[in-house]
Each structure stands twice: as C-alpha cells, then as structure tokens.
Amino acid sequence: MDGIPIRSWVTMPRMVNRDYQRLLIAAIESEMGPRRISRAKLAKMVNIPTVSLDRYFNLARDMNVTQFGAIAEALGVTPEYLVMRAAEFRGKLPPTTGRADQDRALRVKADETT
C-alpha cells in the first residue's frame, strides 16, 4: 500500500468487485429460473430482506461471502459451482457501472468544479 493514495486504494477494488458481483448475479439468476424461484422467495429462503437482495442484484450494495454462500445453499448448489457458472458469463455482459457508482462520480465531478 505504500505510495498508493488511500482514496485510490479504497475506491478501486469496488469497481472491480461490481463486475465480479454482476457475473455472480447472472449465475444466480440462471439457477433461479429453472427452479422458479423469485427474488422475494430467495430472500425468504436466505432470511434477508427482499429490498437488500434487490440491492445486491442491482449492484447498489456489495454482497458478502456469507450471503453468497447462503444463496448458493438455498439454490442447492455450492458457491464454487456458482463461480464456475459466473465464468461462463465473462465477456458476454457489458462492463458494469452501478447506479450508485454513477451518482458518486457525478458528486465527485460537481465537487471538483466548485
């Protein structure tokens, strides 16, 4: 971390993680469809509020490893299987910029002009 400004160190991994999270969400959704599991049903199965699950799926909130594991278990698969499925979507989805990232970028730009 020496020589890297703390602001860059904190914000840079979030952008990369959004792309990974999007791939994982695509894998999760591909497993939900054949099982006829809605987001609301999945949220109940993993005991998290539906609004929180929606935020993970919309990339407005980071999903942690524990939540990812609980989702995999609820779908009857392993986290490793979902990661392998996520790899199938690499290159098929456009780069991601979540709404929260867009809003943050606009605020930073506005701050720079004032």
Amino acid at 62: D
d(CA 103, CA 95): 17
50-109 pLDDT per residue, tens: 999 999 999 888 888 899 999 999 999 999 999 999 989 887 776 665 555 555 555 555
Q: What single-letter amino acid sits at 71?
A: I
Could you give the CA distance from residue 113 to residue 77 in angstroms, rounded to a whole number?
A: 49
Pick the closest to residue 75 from 109, 114, 24 (CA basis): 24
pTM for the whole structure: 0.69
Superfamily of domain 6-113: lambda repressor-like DNA-binding domains (1.10.260.40)
Cα 48 from Cα 53, distance rounded (Å)? 7
Domains of the chain, by residue range, sit at 6-113
